[in-house]
Amino acid sequence: MTTIQEVSKLAGVSVATVSRTLSMPDKVSPKTREKVHAAIAKTNYRPNVLARNFRTRKALAIVVLVPDIANSFFSRVIRGIEQAAQKKGYSVLLGDTQGLAEREYTYANMVKTSQADGIIQLHAHIPFENEADLSLPLVNACDCVRDAGIPTVQLDNAAAAKSMTEHLISLGHTRIAAIQGPSDSPITQDRLRGYQEALRENNLEVDTSLVGTGDFSLASGEAAARGLMTHPSRPTALFCFSDEMAFGAIHHIKSLGLSVPGDISVAGFDDISFAAYCDPPLTTISQPAEEFGTMAMSMLYDIINHAPPESLNHYLPHKLICRQSSGPVNPAR
Amino acid sequence: MTTIQEVSKLAGVSVATVSRTLSMPDKVSPKTREKVHAAIAKTNYRPNVLARNFRTRKALAIVVLVPDIANSFFSRVIRGIEQAAQKKGYSVLLGDTQGLAEREYTYANMVKTSQADGIIQLHAHIPFENEADLSLPLVNACDCVRDAGIPTVQLDNAAAAKSMTEHLISLGHTRIAAIQGPSDSPITQDRLRGYQEALRENNLEVDTSLVGTGDFSLASGEAAARGLMTHPSRPTALFCFSDEMAFGAIHHIKSLGLSVPGDISVAGFDDISFAAYCDPPLTTISQPAEEFGTMAMSMLYDIINHAPPESLNHYLPHKLICRQSSGPVNPAR
DNA sequence: CTGAAAGCGCTAACAC
DNA sequence: GTGTTAGCGCTTTCAG
């Protein structure tokens, strides 16, 4: 491997000059610049970035903590992060945590050991064992810890859930069930709140027996729907807090010989790519997944570089997408 | 930040001893070991991994080149890579390339600049500009460049496609269409070959007008199906080279008022999680996605550490999954 | 505009 | 077992 030494020797200049040519070319005379470039080309020199980062005390890398990279929503967020990071000269270290605190700590440690400059956490959990570590550069996106004073980028989940519920109400539904996510997750809580608010404001009963629980996955949606569909007074609409759970629910509903939306309207949340292609196409809330990533990266960048973030909590817009899985309540029933 | 210096001073030992305590504890007497650990705890010392890696000339990181992290198959492969890497003490640098050679080169450069020790490429393309770089540690997985002498881990795509085609033939189908991926991709070519072989061996006509082309995505499957369904002599079965394209195709077929598999059987490839949940559940080929990742990581690890890989080309098993989207040919037609 | 030299924090010979 | 010491390849004062 060629070093800066050898290049300097070949170019007949000092190592400092070679270094300058690379990082501050305008501080070097055109003549020497040329000589250096010639030597670099000849030796096929690549600066050792590890040495540089060590010397300058920055890793130019960030770590992304994600509960599950295979989740179709998170993977889009990460795509956004990666693109923004690349543009700013940072690389992305992937930390698939499976939701385990242990693994979060391990990855968060990379900041303390100078392997990374900051962390983007996509899960509602502080990835540190010690209070003191809260001073490390951290941005929480998507599902965010509440009132922890850490920078966040999120949806107004309550408003989104409320608008979806209002949509179902406007179709004439009065018994609207829901399948929530894990009840300890803030996004679940916010969506549930929005859903209940809409019911209350429309003088509809808030019936907790109409709320099932899943973990955002296909299988959990199917299981929760199985419970809900045996309800003595079956709902005519079902609002699932993720598209995957909605698919699982629809799968079960159809297996019962019922039709969507004929017998029951179903709505999801996320607007993943399959939503438009399933049968029937899914009414859902669209989230700007990539933007979560770019926004989080941009905030983290500012924090790492000691630029005061404009505001601690960023909210991204959602959109109600009405497709064919929701329809007017069937008077026949 | 605490350094090894300060720890050594506090413990009353040399820096070498501290270093040894951390990396070869059995070469240090229990007594001093204790002293060192006490000092470490007191100072809350974390070794600077950047300095260590620089000194030992290894990055303990690998870069993963993926055309699209948001692809539901690739994200699972990456999950496998991440898990295997973590176990071996390596971290994963994510390189979402969007299939652009430029970006592949940029990321591949991280090996030359000592930021990474090796590369896993999930796309059938050599990520180097110079022939000489082929000496860098590289493993090609999933879609692999043919006969390039680089280590690969892949499916026997021809055999898999052949078995699917035979399945459709066994159901009585004689006009079996296909939607292939990009025609320059080896996996497309192999699957096409397997499909055609099965037709030939069963004395069925190989009709190239029955082969549409997509890019593995939902939308492209829909578009290709649109073309195929206007064929003067409509096929009774359709083999799509990805599940996503199969979903797109089914979507279109249903929009025509036709039924699957009543009017036309549809099969996919990949067995993504949605395959079991769509309507009808999709007949497909299951691939061990995570294993592609762990296997690739394991091979790369051996290469990086100069252990001769047992064999250059690894083949992973596939499985034919028969669900309800394929059925006997309808005699009514 | 350029060079000399110090040193980032750590590991690994090499002595003792 | 432990300490001394020489760098790893680079950036960055500080002089000139």
pLDDT digits (tens, 9 = 90+) for B60-85: 999 999 999 999 899 999 999 999 99
A272 and A185 in a common domain: yes
Residue B333 has pLDDT above 80, yes or no: no
Q: Given pLDDT bands bounded at 50, 70 and 90, which one contains residue B1? A: confident
Residue A332 has pLDDT above 80, yes or no: no
A136 and A87 in a common domain: yes
Residue A333 has pLDDT above 70, yes or no: no
Q: What is the dihedral sign for C-alpha A181, A187, A189, A190?
A: negative
Residue A309 has pLDDT above 90, yes or no: no
Of chain B, the percentage scoring pLDDT greater than 90 comes to 97
CB B63 within 8 A of CB B95: yes
The burial class, CB within 10 Å (0-12 / 13-18 / 19+), for A61 is: buried
pLDDT, one tens digit per residue, over B259-298 is 999 999 999 999 999 999 999 999 999 999 999 999 999 9
| Number of Cβ pairs < 8 A linking chain A and chain B | 135
Return the residue in B96, B97, B128 with the most chain A beta carbons within 10 A, the one to mutate for interface testing: B96
Provide the pLDDT for residue B141. Answer: 98
Mean pLDDT of B105-131: 97
B221 and B114 in a common domain: no
CB A267 within 8 A of CB A175: no
Of A46, A92, A247, the CB nearest to B274: A247
Provide the pLDDT for residue B308. Answer: 80
Structure tokens, A32: 């020497």
Provide the pLDDT for residue A308. Answer: 80
d(CA A259, CA A242): 20
Does A328 fall in a domain?
no
d(CA A226, CA B271): 24
Closest CA to B163 of B269, B317, B320: B320
The residue with tokens 């807090």 is A241
Of A48, A70, A71, the CB nearest to B113: A48
**A310 vs B211: which has the higher pLDDT:** B211
CB A289 within 8 A of CB A72: no
How close A306 comes to chain B (CA, Å)? 18
Can you give the residue range of the structural domain that contains B269?
A: 157-287
Mean pLDDT of B18-35: 95
pLDDT, one tens digit per residue, over A77-105 is 999 999 999 999 999 999 999 999 999 99
Provide the pLDDT for residue B122. Answer: 98
The CATH number of residue A236's host domain is 3.40.50.2300
Nearest nucleotide relative to A52: CA against C1':
D10
Backbone angles phi and psi of A59, in degrees to 5: -90, -20
A236 and A114 in a common domain: no
Within 8 A by CB and 6+ apart from A38, the residues are A11
Closest CA to A47 of A89, A88, A6: A6
Which residues of chain A neighbour B109 with C-beta distances below 8 Å?
Answer: 46
Provide the pLDDT for residue B162. Answer: 98
pLDDT, one tens digit per residue, over B177-200 is 999 999 999 999 999 999 999 999
Structure tokens, A86: 């690349």
Spatial distance from the CA of A24 to the C1' of C5 (Å): 20
Q: Is A25's CB less than 7 Å from nucleic acid strand C?
A: no
Does B331 fall in a domain?
no
The CATH number of residue B29's host domain is 1.10.260.40
Phi-psi region of B293 (alpha: psi -120 to 50; beta: other; left: phi over 0): alpha
Does A94 fall in a domain?
yes
B115 and B221 in a common domain: no
d(CA B288, CA B295): 10
d(CA A45, CA A276): 51
B236 and B166 in a common domain: yes
Bases along strand C below 7 A from a protein CB:
1-13
Q: Given pLDDT bands bounded at 50, 70 and 90, which one contains residue A142? A: very high
B120, β-bridge pairs = B64, B139
d(CA A297, CA A291): 10
Closest CA to A62 of A4, A127, A144, A2: A127
**Total length of chain B:** 333
Closest CA to B112 of A53, A21, A44: A44
Closest CA to A333 of A249, A236, A224: A236
The residue with tokens 């091979």 is B299
Among the ranges given (A47-51, B70-74, B114-118, B240-244), the one the predictor scored with the smallest mean pLDDT: B70-74
Mean pLDDT of A255-275: 97
CB A156 within 8 A of CB A318: yes
B95, β-bridge pairs = B65
The H or E element that residue A76 is part of is helix A74-87
Which residues of chain B neighbour A49 with C-beta distances below 8 Å?
Answer: 110, 113-115
Provide the pLDDT for residue A310. Answer: 80
* Domain edge (last residue) among B55, B79, B94: B55
Structure tokens, B189: 């070519």
B170 and B201 in a common domain: yes
d(CA A297, CA A294): 5
A282-306 in b/e form (b: 16+ CB < 10 A) is bbbbbbbbbbbbbbbbbbbbbbbee
Does B81 fall in a domain?
yes
For chain B, what is the HEC assignment? Answer: CCCHHHHHHHHCCCHHHHHHHHHCHHHCCHHHHHHHHHHHHHHCCCCCHHHHHHHHCCCCEEEEEECCCCCCCHHHHHHHHHHHHHHCCCEEEEEECCCCHHHHHHHHHHHHCCCCCEEEECCCCCCCCCHHHHHCCEEEECCCCCCCCCCEEEECHHHHHHHHHHHHHHCCCCCEEEEECCCCCHHHHHHHHHHHHHHHHCCCCCCHHHEEECCCCHHHHHHHHHHHCCCCCCCCEEEECCHHHHHHHHHHHHHCCCCCCCCCEEECCECCHHHHCCCCCCEEEECCHHHHHHHHHHHHHHHHCCCCCCCCEEEECCEEECCCCCCCCCCCC
Provide the pLDDT for residue B332. Answer: 63
Pairing, β A319-321 against β A284-286: antiparallel
Bases along strand D below 7 A from a protein CB:
1-5, 7-13
Residue A221 has pLDDT above 90, yes or no: yes
d(CA A287, CA A153): 12
* Coil/strand/helix, residue A305: coil
Residue A56 has pLDDT above 90, yes or no: yes
Nearest nucleotide relative to B57: CA against C1':
D8
Number of domains in chain B: 3
User: Cβ atoms within 10 A of the Cβ of B312, count?
Assistant: 10
Mean pLDDT across chain B: 96
Residue A62 has pLDDT above 70, yes or no: yes
How close B10 comes to chain A (CA, Å)? 20
Q: What are the angstrom distances between the C-alpha of B89 and each of A96, A113, B52, B86, B257?
A: 14, 14, 14, 5, 54
B243 and B130 in a common domain: no
Distance, CA of B186 to chain centre: 14
Cis bond upstream, residue B328 (ω within 30): no
- A50/B114 CB distance under 8 A: yes
B247 and B183 in a common domain: yes
Does B67 fall in a domain?
yes
The residue with tokens 């037709």 is B199
* Domain edge (last residue) among B18, B35, B55: B55
Does A326 fall in a domain?
no
Does A24 fall in a domain?
yes
- A82/B76 CB distance under 8 A: no
- B94/A78 CB distance under 8 A: yes
A273 and A168 in a common domain: yes
Which residues of chain B neighbour A293 with C-beta distances below 8 Å?
Answer: none
* Domain edge (last residue) among A249, A271, A287: A287
Does B198 fall in a domain?
yes
The H or E element that residue A108 is part of is helix A101-112
CB A97 within 8 A of CB A107: yes
Spatial distance from the CA of B208 to the C1' of C11 (Å): 64
- B113/A254 CB distance under 8 A: no
B132 and B92 in a common domain: yes
A142 and A67 in a common domain: yes
How close A49 comes to chain B (CA, Å)? 5
